[in-house]
Amino acid sequence: MCDRRVVRGNTYALPLIQTCAPKEPQRPKRKNFPRKANTASPSPVKGRLHIEVQTELYLEELSERVEEIEAEIQTDTFIDRPKTPLFIPAKTGLDVTTQIYEGDLFDFDIEVVPILEVIVGKTIEQSLLEIMEEEELANLREQQRHFEELRSAELVEQQRLEEHDRRQKEEGLKQNLDCKENRISQQRATLLVEKETARKMAARALAKSYLTDLVPSVFDGLRKSGYFYDPVERGRINYCFVKSLNGSAFLS
């Protein structure tokens, strides 16, 4: 950036006057690379080929028209294949006839006895099983009814015991509250007595500490004032004073 109105340099020296015209700044020269007229497409990747595609700007009109003819055809009626007949082997041997009279092969009155015994036995057995099942179900119902009665009685007894326990707990809670209140009142009275005792002991200690220095000073003051004296010295003084007083009185 270059501006002719901006002077470069310090501000306390005289500006230098240029004698020649300033040179124009050199502009960077651009490199002229040779331009190719037609740029070829890159070579295909290995394993692929370029396909020629029509890239002209116009469409080619197709003037030749192929003649078309419509025709109809019909296939023949298709008949289903019939089923394959069953295989019947060829007949061999000679046909012979015989005659069986009634009662020759099977006597119903004799042969039906074991079958009837089995049916009757199974019927009786099934009947006995059903009767035993009904009796067992009746016993189960009776046991269930007895169990339900016992359970209802136990529930009633449990509720009664719970109610009794709840009442006892409430009464015990009330008694505990009363005991707690009594203990709290006793504790408060004990705390008051302790506070009073502590106050008295503190007052006694304070008075003792105060009177420890006061008693000697009081006694010293009283001794200096003459309230405390030696009886021997006082008797001697009184004797000498009285004797001198009596002598002066006789002389006068």
Q: What is the model's pLDDT at position 23?
A: 59
- DSSP letter at 46 equals T
Encode pLDDT of 147-174 as tens digits.
Answer: 999 999 999 999 989 998 888 888 888 8
Q: What is the model's pLDDT at position 142?
A: 93
Q: What is the model's pLDDT at position 231?
A: 67
Q: What is the model's pLDDT at position 118?
A: 94
Say what the alpha-carbon torsion angle 109, 110, 115, 120 is, to the nearest 10 degrees: 70
Cβ–Cβ < 8 Å for 47, 41: no
Encode pLDDT of 53-98 as tens digits.
Answer: 767 666 777 778 888 888 888 887 778 888 888 888 888 888 888 8
Residue 217 lies in a domain: yes
Q: What is the model's pLDDT at position 14?
A: 58
In Å, how far are 156, 166, 173, 178, 241 from 170, measured between CA atoms? 21, 6, 5, 12, 97
Residue 35 lies in a domain: no
Residues lower than pLDDT 50 in the chain:
none
Residue 124 lies in a domain: yes
Domains held by the chain: number: 1
Reported pTM: 0.27
Rg, Å, the chain Cα set: 75
Residue 63 lies in a domain: no
- Distance, in Å, from the CA atom of 57 to the CA atom of 39, rounded to the nearest integer, reads 20
Residue 6 lies in a domain: no
Q: What is the model's pLDDT at position 154?
A: 92
Residue 133 lies in a domain: yes
Q: What range defines the domain where residue 201 resides? A: 113-228
Q: What is the model's pLDDT at position 13?
A: 60
Residue 237 lies in a domain: no
Q: What is the model's pLDDT at position 64?
A: 80
Residue 215 lies in a domain: yes
